[in-house]
Amino acid sequence: MERCAEVGPLKLWQGILLFFVGSFLIALLYHDEILLTAAVILVGVATLAIDKWKNMKHFFIAMAVGGACENLAVALGGWSYANAGFLFAPLWLPIGWGLSVVVMDELLGEKIKVGFTWVALGLAFAGAALASLLAPDEGLLLFAFSAMTILLFRSGFYGKREIAGGVVAAIMGTAMETISILAGNWEYTAAIFTTPLWLPLCWFNAFLIMRRIVRI
């Protein structure tokens, strides 16, 4: 893997600010699905504008794939949202996926060039199905995600230089979800400590996989 020469203008503080503004909007406004959708759209537009719209394609691909995976997971009973009046998952959620992937990708301290692979797309949907079907057994799902992460590194699908980006995604994604879980926005089938133990590994893998999908 090679170092990517193109570095976007999104600064670290801007990315963190946008991510947590979005997180708190989701936690505070989830009772009104339409209002929250409008608010998340505005944050998404601001994020794309800062980078002069260069990430628009990545944003919409992440929206489509992330939204589809979330609806699949909810339909299979993996977790549930307090207010979703139109689909299995709320309308704002796909936009949130687009925002999360773009911001996290820009926040990588060391840009790593990756390319699209159909394997990544398959892993995204397989991971959503796996998380849903094993959600009632927190320990088993933690083991499954751990084994999958090790396998993907051992096989060379992930590079060692991507670990830092995955860790950032794990921390930020888990923090965002914990805020919303405590606010009552959504809940998981089984979680000893409110937030499932496997969630950081889920975000770790989701981000590294989505990085490959959006580069189609």
Q: Are 101 and 214 in contact (CB under 8 A)?
A: yes
The answer to whether residue 5 sits within a structural domain is no
Count structural domains, the chain: 1
The answer to whether residue 177 sits within a structural domain is yes
Q: What is the pLDDT of residue 36?
A: 93
- The whole domain housing 192 covers 12-213
Cα angle for residues 210, 215, 216 (degrees, 5° grid): 110
Assess whether pLDDT exceeds 70 at residue 40: yes
CA distances 83 to 90, 148, 198, Å, are 7, 32, 24
Q: What tokens were used for 177?
A: 């979800």
> Given pLDDT bands bounded at 50, 70 and 90, which one contains residue 111?
low
Assess whether pLDDT exceeds 50 at residue 119: yes
Q: Are 39 and 29 in contact (CB under 8 A)?
A: yes
Mean of the per-residue pLDDT values of the chain? 87
Q: What is the pLDDT of residue 108?
A: 66
Q: What is the pLDDT of residue 31?
A: 92
- Among 20-24, 48-52, 147-151, top mean pLDDT goes to 147-151
> Given pLDDT bands bounded at 50, 70 and 90, which one contains residue 43?
confident
Q: What is the pLDDT of residue 1?
A: 38
Chain segment 13-22, per-residue pLDDT in tens: 777 777 778 7
Q: What is the pLDDT of residue 110?
A: 52
Between 134 and 110, name the one with better pLDDT. 134
Q: What is the pLDDT of residue 10?
A: 65
The answer to whether residue 48 sits within a structural domain is yes
Query: How many C-beta atoms surround the C-beta of residue 109 within 10 A?
Result: 8
Which of 28-32, 118-122, 199-203 shows the lowest mean pLDDT across its residues? 28-32
Between 60 and 43, name the one with better pLDDT. 60
The answer to whether residue 4 sits within a structural domain is no
> Given pLDDT bands bounded at 50, 70 and 90, which one contains residue 113?
confident
The answer to whether residue 6 sits within a structural domain is no
The answer to whether residue 207 sits within a structural domain is yes
What's the chain look like in SS3? Answer: CCECCCCCCCCHHHHHHHHHHHHHHHHHHCCCHHHHHHHHHHHHHHHHHHCCCCCHHHHHHHHHHHHHHHHHHHHCCCEEECCCCCCCCCCCHHHHHHHHHHHHHHCCCCCECCCCCHHHHHHHHHHHHHHHHHCCCHHHHHHHHHHHHHHHHHCCCCCHHHHHHHHHHHHHHHHHHHHHHHHCCEEECCCCCCCCCCHHHHHHHHHHHHHHHCCC
The answer to whether residue 63 sits within a structural domain is yes
pTM of the model: 0.88
Q: What is the pLDDT of residue 130?
A: 92
Q: Are 164 and 110 in contact (CB under 8 A)?
A: yes
